[in-house]
Amino acid sequence: MQTTSPIIVAVDVADERAALNLMDALDPQLCRLKVGKELFTLAGPNIVEQMQNKGFEVFLDLKFHDIPNTVASAIKMAAELGVWMVDLHALGGRKMMCDAKEILAGYSKPPLLIAVTLLTSMSDEMAHEIGLIGNKDEIVTRLANLVADCGLDGVVSSANEAKMIKEIQPNLITVCPGIRLDNSIADDQVRIMKPANAVKEGANYLVIGRPITRAADPREALQYIISTLAI
């Protein structure tokens, strides 16, 4: 049975045993799990399969960004692995995104394909430094429109931009990291928001790591966050 919870727990750990312990502490009826570069590099597809065997739907967050053929092949492998969602970088351009979407056409139940607009760690100054034109809202708007034009399912963006994205592209799923609680530190995130506020702003899914994974009782922390969402 698939969960209706908007919470995706980021299993960003550098220890496979820690990942397994976290799986045991959480409930697939209350959340999905995200596997990023750190854990996937450590444990590979096997950790995804273990999560799925425990009933979790998995967001494979590897943010592919390469030549179109390479990215399309990687997306195909993600589909073969049976993940629920996979992402790439919108900055990879139209052909890269269109080819990735096209390769999923032959699957009866393909993963959701979403694109990162701007990383939540990126400020206006950092975007300008790499040559992007305009402020972050203008950049995200251009990229969100391109993502929709390429037929992808949604975007990864800051919750601060979720409302804006829904206004210009209401059919795009918004997956929002940078979610923090009142007593959480921002760490390396620049554009952050509390869970309930993010949902009100239009976030469909909330990617939450440290406030849950570093809690004394991860299940209790997860249940508390869900209780604050009023959904």
Any binding-site annotation on 61?
A: yes
Any binding-site annotation on 180?
A: yes
Any binding-site annotation on 66?
A: yes
Any binding-site annotation on 120?
A: yes
Please list, residue by residue across 200-225, b when 16 or more beta carbons sit within 10 angstroms of its beta carbon and e when fewer do: ebbbebbbbbbbbbebeebbebbeeb
Cα(83)–Cα(215) distance, integer angstroms: 26
Beta bridge partners of 24: none
Any binding-site annotation on 70?
A: yes
- Catalytic residue at 136? no
One-letter amino acid of 15: D
Any binding-site annotation on 41?
A: no
Catalytic residue among 63, 95, 163, 194: 63
Any binding-site annotation on 67?
A: yes
Largest CA distance in the chain: 46
Name, in order, each residue with C-beta under 8 angstroms of 127's C-beta and a sequence gap of 6 or more. 118, 135, 136, 139
Q: Are 78 and 86 in contact (CB under 8 A)?
A: yes
Any binding-site annotation on 39?
A: no
Any binding-site annotation on 75?
A: no
Any binding-site annotation on 17?
A: no
Phi, psi of 27 (to 5 degrees): -120, 125
Annotated binding site: 12, 34, 61-70, 120, 180, 189, 209-210
Annotated binding site for substrate: 12, 34, 61-70, 120, 180, 189, 209-210
Q: Which residues are catalytic?
A: 63
